[in-house]
Structure 1
Amino acid sequence: MKESMGSRLFFKLLPVQIMIVAMGSINSIVDGVIAGRFIDATTVGVIGLFGAVNFVLSAIGSVLLGGSSVLSGRYMGSGDLDKTRGIFSLNITITTIIGMVVMLIGFAIPKVVADICGANAQLRDTLALYIVGFSFGIVPQLLAQQLSAFLQLERQSKRNYIGVAAMIISNITLDIVLVVIFNMGILGLALSTAICNWIYFLVLVTYYIFGNAQLKYNRKNILWSDTGELIKIGFPGALLVFCLALRDLALNRIVLNYAGQDGLSAKSSLGMVGGLFIALCLGTGAVVRMLASVNVGEEDKDAIKELIKIASTKALLLSVLITVIVLAISGFVVGLFFPDKTSNVYKLAYQYFVVYDLSIPLIIVVQIQTNYLQAMKQNICVNIFSIIDGFVSVVLPSVILAPIIGIFGVWLATPIGIVISAVVYPIYAIIFWRRVPQNIDEWLLFKKDFGVSDDDRIVFNVENASDVSSTAQKAQEFCTEKGFDKKTAMYSALCLEEMTRNVVEHGFTHDKQKHYLDARIVKKSDEIVLRIKDDCASFDPVSMADQISPEDKTKNIGLRMVMKLATSASYQNLLGLNVMTITIKQ
């Protein structure tokens, strides 16, 4: 499959999202291994019980991150940088306030929180101690989750990589120092995680303090009016996490009933490492939501179709590869937590790992579906999706199967549940249209007033200088066919030719990398809209035109011509892409 600019952008954003998901799992694996080998196997179960708190924190982060990502994407897609900055300031303010409140709850009533997590009398005090230590790092944990997404909009993926690496290295080091050397037990594990959250946050936030960030925090610029919309958009993601928390609590009780402490430890071990197994799935979902939100803001049906195609083919094939790898290493991974391969807990954990692994390809399908629906503002469906996928689809099979085949019924409920979740989207599409969708546009829920019709737009991929002239000629023919006069058609072709030639001659040759240039021409009533995207080094022709001295009539003649012929022109850097929009009225 030939790589396109959309494919390149997708896989440029994907590694960061995978690392963000994998980071938490890697830290959990380290904590689990240290707990299982240097404290006791019961501690692994205690950390597993704390998963309910992590689900709550994830729910909070999902509301803020989901709503902010979609709104930021829409505003960036429509070219409104001021509102994008307002969403950034709103996000950081709300995140800080909520983080402080949750932190104080953890400090003040840790035993109450432990009871809510399902701890029995023997585990209550131990879990409460872990909660106190962990609470110290809640504020930076929530803030770092938000900043990591905004940094991608700033083209600062390397800082995310550095932050993730710093967090993982510091977590391993601190676990060894606090638990193995100083023998601080479960409190040492909690403090290690909290300190690592601070380290990760500080690596990220320094860009907004000392760097040249586009998204500046300004309390006067907080877009309070969008708070309700942000929560409304982000709520489905939070509802899913909330349902997952309830599912975790329900399954913990079922597992304890049918497999005891060994079953809980086996389940908890997968909870620690499972995020690593499905990091590709969750990362793909996050990228789909981010890019689809921008494309929805632009009402670009072609880009949305390409995005879904990339996710449903290339990313899905990668998930199959991950499934094979996980199947091969499951025994080794389980052995990290439970060294005695003859023990009951090892056998239960290995069994669960293998069954769970078979669900991975369908998990990525569900992630693509839910995140796309969220970007398309299909909130009712996403809420239904969250309840089914997060709770009903797994708990119901567990309740039915556990009395019949024991703990294996609980393990088997995961692949059964993901199959149930995967059919929600097609059922919703049929309900949405009140019939079976007839084409890809209908399956993607495009209403008639979304974007422009296929006949009123044309897209070109420009790869070299020879493409520039042919593209300009085809553009002029397109404008003429759509009823525009000769002057408008010629102006459109000239502007397109000049701007694409500039990219090919200067952007393509700036470095040794392969670059991409897409030119889109759209007919809108009495005007032609040219949108030119490239992935070359940042270059703002609009600002440059403003800075050119009027006395120097020989400099940048082509750029001067474009600005003179265009009715309006705007530039923005969108997720690392140069986006030039030119409007020419008849």
Structure 2
Amino acid sequence: MSNNELLRTEKIGKLLFKFSLPAIVGMLVNALYNVVDRMYIGWLGPLAMTGIGLSLPIMTLLMGLSMLVGIGSGSRISIRLGQNRKDDAEHILGNAVVLLILIMAGAMILGLTFKTPLLYLFGASEATIGFADEYLTVILIGAIFQGLGFGLTGVMRSEGSPKNAMYTMLIGAITNIVLDPVFIFAFHLGIRGAAIATIISQFVTTCLVLYHFRYGKSNLKLHRKNFKLDKNIIISILSIGMSPFFMQVAASIVTVVSNNALKANGGDIAIGAMTVINAIAIFFLMPIFGLNQGTQPIVGYNYGAKQFDRVKKALKLAIIAGTCFSTTGFLMTQFLTVPLIKIFNSDPELIAVATKGMRIFLVMLPVIGFQIISANYFQAVGKAPKAIFLSLLRQVIVLIPLLIILPQIYSLDGVWYAGPVADFSASLVTGIFLFNEMRHLDEPQV
């Protein structure tokens, strides 16, 4: 049975498991190598960890550009396959490859040109600028590999190859995990070595993805004729990809605002503590992102095929699973706080700051699974304006004002309080949007 037939006829529970498990495993491994990366860097000292935190806004922006094209094209491809328009799907794929190369090359040039003033804007001090600059320079040089590797892995899932996408991510992640200690310690390259290991792993991922679409057993193939950019295709990709892109841009802005609030109220150590908190949080959120990636082709295909009962069932099961993941993360971050922090650094001051911060900042984790899955639904069915609004709601409309206002009242605690207030508010509004959407699902507007 072909992947298209499976998407149309297979039981939703079984289908969700088949598509989501590889993505979840891949994302967990991706999270693991980020944890290992931060762990090794943490051994270089708390200020090295702060250097990573200062680099995060630009690294997040690079991820956002990858998602702009990767998720936008993946969503469109899923819908076109559901409409039995394979040639159109391959045209989208070809345009996506060229678009990723051009966008990431532009980001690399701009980033290398302005990185030093940007790092000071992000909260760097004379004690931390060296760590941040060393790491970020290498990451920017390899930006094209990140774009192609991450962006096209998502397309692999959308065109019906979730296992191959998982294996690709696994190989890239294992490469990074193996090379980290070699470059950091054996070659004595320190924080620059961690960045070099990351870029090499992204290069490996890119080679595997391009091989899959050119020579592998892909449902879609890369053809030179489809590399010619088409204005309508570009607009269709960007209109959907804008939602996750704006979410990443928002995350980048939040990091800048947060870093400056942390520096003003807690110094360099507070920035390092937030870097640890984010590294731990992302490990528990990655399975939800993987679940999203597995759900998207199911929802997108069946929405395009007008099988709305299957769309509803897939969404319901995904929300239940996502809530289970986020609740597990909540329990671990509340009751295993110190052991989790010590994985990254054993500095007593950093542990004290991060312990209090994590318990407050992540207290609303149980509702995040619902919010992420529900916002992704609107993206999967091509309703870009709603998807963009819900993506920006937590990280711009609510969180940024809170990060500015609350520290004025509560000092460093105000930074921690901002997280749960924003999480709860965004989840409540998303629930209202989703309830209204389900009532009118039989009247799609594409």
Is TM-score (shorter-chain normalized) higher than 0.5? Answer: yes
String of CA shifts for 1:431-459, please: whole Å, max 9, x gaps: xxxxxxxxx7x5415266449xxxxxxxx
Q: Could you tell me how far apart the structure 1 residues matched to 2:224 and 2:214 are?
A: 15
Bigger helix fraction: 2
Q: Sort the Cα spacing of 1:108 and 1:322 in 2 relative to 1 into closer, same or farther, 3 A.
A: closer
Equivalence for 1:288: 295
Letter in 2 for 1:11: F
Is 2:89 the counterpart of 1:89? Answer: no
Q: Sort the Cα spacing of 1:266 and 1:385 in 2 relative to 1 into closer, same or farther, 3 A.
A: same
Equivalence for 1:493: none
Deviation at 1:141, TM superposition (A): 1.2
Q: Could you tell me how far apart the structure 2 residues matched to 1:76 and 1:337 are?
A: 44
Equivalence for 1:35: 41
Letter in 1 for 2:17: F
8 Å Cα contact 1:278/1:360 also seen in 2: no
8 Å Cα contact 2:158/2:296 also seen in 1: no
Is 2:436 the counterpart of 1:446? Answer: no
What pairs up with 1:42-191 in 2 under 5 angstroms? Answer: 42-191=47-196
Equivalence for 1:329: 336
Q: Sort the Cα spacing of 1:215 and 1:368 in 2 relative to 1 into closer, same or farther, 3 A.
A: same
Q: Equivalent of 2:11, from 5, 24, 27?
A: 5
Q: Sort the Cα spacing of 1:204 and 1:375 in 2 relative to 1 into closer, same or farther, 3 A.
A: closer
Q: Could you tell me how far apart the structure 2 residues matched to 1:170 and 1:212 are?
A: 23
Equivalence for 2:3: none
Equivalence for 2:7: none
Q: Could you tell me how far apart the structure 2 residues matched to 1:11 and 1:325 are?
A: 24
Deviation at 1:305, TM superposition (A): 1.3
Q: Could you tell me how far apart the structure 2 residues matched to 1:445 and 1:226 are?
A: 31
8 Å Cα contact 1:247/1:390 also seen in 2: yes
Q: Could you tell me how far apart the structure 1 residues matched to 2:91 and 2:67 are?
A: 19
Deviation at 1:419, TM superposition (A): 0.7
Q: Sort the Cα spacing of 1:365 and 1:85 in 2 relative to 1 into closer, same or farther, 3 A.
A: same
Letter in 2 for 1:14: S
Q: Sort the Cα spacing of 1:187 and 1:312 in 2 relative to 1 into closer, same or farther, 3 A.
A: closer
Letter in 2 for 1:160: A
Deviation at 1:41, TM superposition (A): 1.1
Deviation at 1:355, TM superposition (A): 2.8
String of CA shifts for 1:7-33, please: whole Å, max 9, x gaps: 111122222332443344323322222
String of CA shifts for 1:9-60, please: whole Å, max 9, x gaps: 11222223324433443233222221221x2210100011111011111221
Letter in 2 for 1:270: I
Deviation at 1:170, TM superposition (A): 2.4
Bigger strand fraction: 1
Deviation at 1:271, TM superposition (A): 2.2
Q: Could you tell me how far apart the structure 2 residues matched to 1:321 and 1:31 are?
A: 23
Is 2:239 the counterpart of 1:232? Answer: yes
Q: Equivalent of 1:253, from 254, 257, 260?
A: 260
String of CA shifts for 1:132-154, please: whole Å, max 9, x gaps: 22223221111111221232245
Letter in 1 for 2:323: L
Q: Sort the Cα spacing of 1:287 and 1:88 in 2 relative to 1 into closer, same or farther, 3 A.
A: same
Deviation at 1:128, TM superposition (A): 2.1
Deviation at 1:107, TM superposition (A): 4.4
Letter in 2 for 1:444: M
3-state SS in 1 of match to 2:84: coil
Equivalence for 2:308: 301
Q: Sort the Cα spacing of 1:318 and 1:173 in 2 relative to 1 into closer, same or farther, 3 A.
A: closer
Relative contact order, higher structure (CA 8 A, sep 6+): 2
Q: Sort the Cα spacing of 1:214 and 1:290 in 2 relative to 1 into closer, same or farther, 3 A.
A: closer
User: Based on CA coordinates, which of the two structures has the bigger radius of gyration?
Assistant: 1
Q: Sort the Cα spacing of 1:406 and 1:118 in 2 relative to 1 into closer, same or farther, 3 A.
A: closer
Q: Equivalent of 1:364, from 361, 366, 369?
A: 369
Q: Could you tell me how far apart the structure 1 residues matched to 2:288 and 2:443 are?
A: 32
What pairs up with 1:397-436 in 2 under 5 angstroms? Answer: 397-428=402-433
Equivalence for 1:354: 359
Q: Could you tell me how far apart the structure 1 residues matched to 2:341 and 2:362 are?
A: 13
8 Å Cα contact 1:167/1:196 also seen in 2: yes
Unaligned runs of 5+ in 2: 1-9
Shifted more, 411-420 versus 145-154: the winner is 145-154
Q: Sort the Cα spacing of 1:383 and 1:212 in 2 relative to 1 into closer, same or farther, 3 A.
A: closer
Q: Sort the Cα spacing of 1:302 and 1:448 in 2 relative to 1 into closer, same or farther, 3 A.
A: closer
Is 2:205 the counterpart of 1:200? Answer: yes
Q: Sort the Cα spacing of 1:12 and 1:184 in 2 relative to 1 into closer, same or farther, 3 A.
A: same
Q: Sort the Cα spacing of 1:155 and 1:386 in 2 relative to 1 into closer, same or farther, 3 A.
A: closer
Is 2:268 the counterpart of 1:274? Answer: no
Q: Could you tell me how far apart the structure 2 residues matched to 1:119 and 1:52 are?
A: 12
Q: Could you tell me how far apart the structure 2 residues matched to 1:203 and 1:95 are?
A: 16
| Runs of 4+ deviating beyond 6 Å | none
Deviation at 1:201, TM superposition (A): 2.2
8 Å Cα contact 1:25/1:274 also seen in 2: no
Q: Sort the Cα spacing of 1:244 and 1:445 in 2 relative to 1 into closer, same or farther, 3 A.
A: farther
8 Å Cα contact 2:122/2:260 also seen in 1: no
8 Å Cα contact 1:111/1:125 also seen in 2: no
String of CA shifts for 1:201-222, please: whole Å, max 9, x gaps: 2233322343232311123134
8 Å Cα contact 2:169/2:205 also seen in 1: yes
What pairs up with 1:371-410 in 2 under 5 angstroms? Answer: 371-410=376-415
Q: Could you tell me how far apart the structure 1 residues matched to 2:417 and 2:221 are?
A: 48
Deviation at 1:80, TM superposition (A): 0.7
Q: Sort the Cα spacing of 1:158 and 1:282 in 2 relative to 1 into closer, same or farther, 3 A.
A: closer
Identity %: 19
Letter in 1 for 2:404: V
Q: Equivalent of 1:15, from 18, 21, 29?
A: 21
Shifted more, 253-262 versus 391-400: the winner is 391-400
String of CA shifts for 1:344-401, please: whole Å, max 9, x gaps: 2101112222234432221111112211122344333333223321223223233333
8 Å Cα contact 1:236/1:383 also seen in 2: yes
Q: Could you tell me how far apart the structure 1 residues matched to 2:213 and 2:253 are?
A: 37
Letter in 1 for 2:19: L
Deviation at 1:290, TM superposition (A): 2.9
Unaligned runs of 5+ in 1: 430-439, 452-586
How many pairs are equivalent? Answer: 434
Q: Sort the Cα spacing of 1:445 and 1:60 in 2 relative to 1 into closer, same or farther, 3 A.
A: farther
8 Å Cα contact 2:171/2:205 also seen in 1: yes
Shifted more, 386-395 versus 331-340: the winner is 386-395
8 Å Cα contact 1:26/1:273 also seen in 2: no
Is 2:215 the counterpart of 1:210? Answer: yes
Letter in 1 for 2:328: L
3-state SS in 2 of match to 1:339: coil
TM normalised by structure 2 equals 0.90
Deviation at 1:261, TM superposition (A): 1.2
